[in-house]
Structure 1
Amino acid sequence: MNYQVNASSLFNEDAVIHIKASDIAFGTTSKTADILPNPAELFLGSFAACMLKNVERFSAMMKFDYTKTTLHLSATRLEHPPRMDNINYELTIYTNDKKLNVDLLKKNIEKHGTIYNTIKLACSISGSIKTQNDV
């Protein structure tokens, strides 16, 4: 598989990533630092997207139902050289389905996630998956 992404920016303005029919604005200036995602947050967003896509993918393969998922990520950034050092996640799956094998889902996400596997080559990843009953 091959991927293509385009991005553009203007001097002293913020930037935009152009992916398919989506435009994703991100901050490159101090004036929008509090309202637009920065490159580190987009990086973590890609990790989150990978995990959530795989929950959807494996729900069909593992034959479990859920209504929604939430994912909380935190990361540590080192200064010298500037890089992510540790990513921690907590994935919650809202379901009443007793067939969900959380340990197998976690194993599948860690084994088959493209972004997950790319990132784990550069920094440590730890986390947990829990379920919460639907109301």
Structure 2
Amino acid sequence: MTAAPSTYSVHGESTSGGSAAVRARGTTIPIDASWGSDEPPHLPGPAELLASAFTACMLKNLERAGALLDFAYESAEVDVVARRQDAPPMFVAISYELRITTSEPQRRVDLVHQNLRKFGTVYNTLAAVCEVDGTVVAVAPEQG
């Protein structure tokens, strides 16, 4: 028997001039919804929020893989670059580098990377519509 799909709800609101926010799970996130301003925005816009969702997916699934595969790590950092084109407007590529501080052997790091690609909901959704490519780098813990 297949489980019912999960549902996620987000509320957004804006005022004329581009001041906007989204609310999810009781947290309000201010966003840039301005258009045509000469000043660079100081808040994340839709593109950065999409890249942020991808980043969150990677980190959450690292924690999931850590628990399921008994993969020990101290910390992780990920850099994501999303590339878009103007005509037609769409994302064409997402690249990432995930750095994991771990003493695990490379074959286990590769296994975690395989799991991140296979089981990430946001990862798979974006990979279905644009190129997604990246690396996972193991960083040895500092000896101290």
TM-score normalised to structure 2 length: 0.87
Deviation at 1:97, TM superposition (A): 3.4
State the match for 1:16 in structure 2.
Answer: 21
> Equivalent residue for 1:112?
119
Gapped regions of structure 2 (runs ≥ 5): 1-5
Aligned to 2:54, the other structure's residue is in SS state helix
State the partner residue of 1:70. Answer: 77
- Return the letter of the residue paired with 1:130: V
| RMSD of aligned Cα (Å) | 1.7
Unaligned runs of 5+ in 1: none
The number of equivalent residue pairs is 135
Deviations along 1:36-94, whole A, 9 cap, x unmatched? 11110100000000010000011011112211110011122111111110111000001
The 1-side partners of 2:45 and 2:53 are apart by 12
Aligned counterpart for 1:127 among listed residues 119, 129, 134: 134
C-alpha contact 1:27 1:33 (8 A) present in aligned 2: no
Q: Which residue of 2 is the match for residue 4 of structure 1?
A: 9
Partner of 2:40: 33
Q: Distance in 2 between matches of 1:16 and 1:82?
A: 23
Q: Percent identity?
A: 34
For 1:101, what is the secondary structure of its paired residue? helix
Which shifted more, 44-53 or 89-98? 89-98
Query: Aligned in 2, Cα 1:11/1:34: closer, same or farther, shift over 3 Å?
Result: closer
Report the equivalent of 1:43: 50
| Aligned residue in 1 for 2:89 | 82
Aligned residue identity for 1:133: A
Deviation at 1:31, TM superposition (A): 7.2
Q: Which residue is 2:66 aligned to?
A: 59
Q: Which residue identity is paired with 2:60? A: K
The TM-score normalised by the length of structure 1 is 0.93
Equivalent residues of 1:27, 1:37 under 8 A apart: yes
